[in-house]
Amino acid sequence: MSELAAHRVGRQRGRPPGRTNTRQDVLDAARRVFADRGYQHASLRAIAAEAGVDAGMVRHFFGDKAGLFRAAMELPVDPATILPVLLGPGLDGLGERVVRFFVSVWDDPVARGPFLSLIRSVAGHEESATMFRQFITEQMLGPLAAAIGRPNARLRATLVGSQLVGLAMVRYVVKVEPLASASADQVVAAVAPTIQRYLTGDVSDLSPPAADSAATG
Amino acid sequence: MSELAAHRVGRQRGRPPGRTNTRQDVLDAARRVFADRGYQHASLRAIAAEAGVDAGMVRHFFGDKAGLFRAAMELPVDPATILPVLLGPGLDGLGERVVRFFVSVWDDPVARGPFLSLIRSVAGHEESATMFRQFITEQMLGPLAAAIGRPNARLRATLVGSQLVGLAMVRYVVKVEPLASASADQVVAAVAPTIQRYLTGDVSDLSPPAADSAATG
């Protein structure tokens, strides 16, 4: 990140000759190719060609396609790193760990920035939505569904995503009170049971109302 | 709606003299004033002045400020009409009725259009987010919270909103499978218990995991 920042400062002062801007060229090429072809059909080779560099150079800088995508979108979180951490203690309590982590990232103004940009881009542009859908499916929803290991695992994973995206929209984008100012603990207490039910509870039968949801009418 | 459509056709053929375009002028003025001042601080009087007409004329066409906002945003649903219908049978089963109604509107390609535009605008523009936050708070979340009549009623209402907005984002905007293609009944079965818990269940304590969420790790 600091390497990237330093690079940008250098860039503002005029582009030096030679290969100094290779990293930035690759990121620019990646954004173009991901937008044109979607995440799924963009290849490291095509992005390298677009940037006019060797594919090995791209791998050297960014590892794999997912790493390049994260760098191009400036995402401060690596799903491939964080998912095993959250899943480590098992499915018990996973809802709480997921919500606590999600809120901790979004409550951080620095980390929030790129995610706000992403959600705006995804809501506003069809090609961004396609790109993000493919990335999130491969990098988060697929691995999460595999870890759930229950019927409807894919549906469960997308339901988890729906509550988290909606939380981001209402708390951080539209900023509706009192959810916008609720403490992290309040949000976890309210939302974690939802996520836990989507992960491990019953999602395919419409259960009778719980005892505390008595009719008033 | 048909009056509006007919009016637009007339407009494409050139603007006739006189007051024929009053309604469209008011809608255009309303969009400008709502965007400039937000929903809360826009008044019928200011919108009438912006359109160069009498405030009584605006009331004649659109009733009140909420009606004018709905017409300006082309929203096919009137919260003031639908909320009492959903609330009519009481809080019991309200989660199911809310999700079923929400999905029926969004599953309808014609009704979906204006809501897609709204969600894109709200995600992309700060002033749209402010405008929508004020409208939804006054017209939906406030009345819903009053009907809930329980501790944390406002928080409960915003939590309901968060799950519904997220459902719209994942199912209709980003279109992530299998949630995008799930039947209305599947979505209701999965999501209604979430809404019911936010409405009438326990949202302020982090309950121990349910019996069916046993640890695997």
For the segment B13-26, what is each residue's pLDDT rounded down to a tens digit?
A: 444 454 468 889 99
Question: 3-state class of B86 per DSSP?
Answer: helix
User: Range with the lowest mean pLDDT among A105-109, A200-204, A213-217, B19-23?
Assistant: A213-217
Distance, in Å, from the CA atom of A106 to the CA atom of A188, rounded to the nearest integer, reads: 13
DSSP structure string for B106-149: HHSHHHHHHHHHHHHHHHH-HHHHHHHHHHHIIIIIHHHHHHH-
Q: What DSSP designation does A137 have?
A: I
Is B196 within 8 Å of A177 when comparing Cβ atoms? Answer: no
Distance, in Å, from the CA atom of B87 to the CA atom of B97, rounded to the nearest integer, reads: 9
Q: Place A157 in a pLDDT band, splitting at 50, 70 and 90.
A: very high
- Nearest Cα residue in chain A from B92: A215
User: Range with the lowest mean pLDDT among A43-57, A66-80, B175-189?
Assistant: A66-80
Furthest C-alpha separation in chain A: 75
Q: Place A6 in a pLDDT band, splitting at 50, 70 and 90.
A: very low
Shortest distance between the Cα of B78 and any Cα of chain A, in A, equals: 20
Phi, psi of A91 (to 5 degrees): -75, -25
Domain ranges (residues) in chain A = 2-73, 79-202
Please report the pLDDT score of residue A206 as a whole number.
Answer: 59
What does the pLDDT look like over B146-157, one tens digit per residue?
999 999 999 999
**Angle at Cα B4 formed by Cα B2 and Cα B6, nearest 5°?**
65
Burial of B107 (0-12, 13-18, 19+ CB in 10 A): middle
Burial of A205 (0-12, 13-18, 19+ CB in 10 A): exposed
Is B179 within 8 Å of A189 when comparing Cβ atoms? Answer: no
Give the residue from B160, B210, B189 showing the smallest Cα distance to A155.
B189
- Nearest Cα residue in chain A from B147: A216
Dig out the tokens for B41 from the structure: 């601080």
Query: Within 10 Å of residue A27's Cβ, how many Cβ atoms?
Result: 22
Q: Rounded to the nearest 10 degrees, what angle do helices B55-62 and B65-72 cross at?
A: 70
**ipTM score assigned to the predicted complex:** 0.81
- Contact of B182 with B191, CB cutoff 8 Å: no
What distance lies between CA A160 and its chain's CA centroid?
13
Q: What DSSP designation does A201 have?
A: S
Please report the pLDDT score of residue A20 as a whole number.
Answer: 62
- Contact of B151 with B205, CB cutoff 8 Å: no
Q: Could you give the C-alpha distances from B104 to B96, B111, B185, B187, B199, in angstroms and in order?
A: 12, 9, 10, 11, 20
Dig out the tokens for B161 from the structure: 């909103």
Question: 3-state class of A60 per DSSP?
Answer: helix
Dig out the tokens for B19 from the structure: 């007051």
CATH top class, domain B2-73? mainly alpha
Q: Assess whether pLDDT exceeds 70 at residue A16.
A: no
Distance, in Å, from the CA atom of B206 to the CA atom of A144, rounded to the nearest integer, reads: 23
Is A93 within 8 Å of B215 when comparing Cβ atoms? Answer: yes
* pTM score, whole prediction: 0.82
Q: Could you give the C-alpha distances from B52 to A2, B19, B60, in angstroms and in order?
A: 55, 11, 15
Dig out the tokens for B30 from the structure: 């309303």
Q: Identity (one letter) of the amino acid at B47? A: I
Distance, in Å, from the CA atom of B43 to the CA atom of B64, rounded to the nearest integer, reads: 10
What does the pLDDT look like over B120-159, one tens digit per residue?
888 888 888 998 899 999 999 999 999 999 999 999 999 9
- Contact of B187 with B195, CB cutoff 8 Å: no
Dig out the tokens for B203 from the structure: 């949202």
Is A217 within 8 Å of B174 when comparing Cβ atoms? Answer: no
Please report the pLDDT score of residue A198 as a whole number.
Answer: 98
| Residue reference for tokens 């009704």 | B111
Shortest distance between the Cα of A128 and any Cα of chain B, in A, equals: 9
Query: Within 10 Å of residue A26's Cβ, how many Cβ atoms?
Result: 24
Q: Identity (one letter) of the amino acid at B128? A: S
Please report the pLDDT score of residue B95 as a whole number.
Answer: 97
Q: By the CB < 8 Å criterion, does A9 face chain B?
A: no
Cβ neighbours of residue B161 closer than 8 Å, sequence gap 6 or more: A166, A170, A176, A179, B136, B140, B141
Please report the pLDDT score of residue A14 as a whole number.
Answer: 43
Q: Place A15 in a pLDDT band, splitting at 50, 70 and 90.
A: very low
Strands (E), chain B: none
Q: Which fold has domain B79-202?
A: Tetracycline Repressor; domain 2 (1.10.357)
**Angle at Cα B167 formed by Cα B161 and Cα B173, nearest 5°?**
120
Q: Assess whether pLDDT exceeds 90 at residue B197.
A: yes
Q: B189 to chain A: which residues are within 8 Å by CB?
A: 203-206
* Sign, CA torsion A13/A15/A20/A21: positive
- Closest partner residue to A217 (CB to CB) among B89, B123, B188 is B89
Window 60-119 of B, Cβ < 8 Å to A: 87-93, 95-96, 119
What does the pLDDT look like over A85-100, one tens digit per residue?
999 999 999 999 999 9
Average pLDDT of the residues in B22-38: 89
DSSP structure string for B34-48: HHHHHHHH--HHHHH
Phi, psi of B63 (to 5 degrees): 80, -90
Q: Place B214 in a pLDDT band, splitting at 50, 70 and 90.
A: very low
Average pLDDT of the residues in B170-198: 97
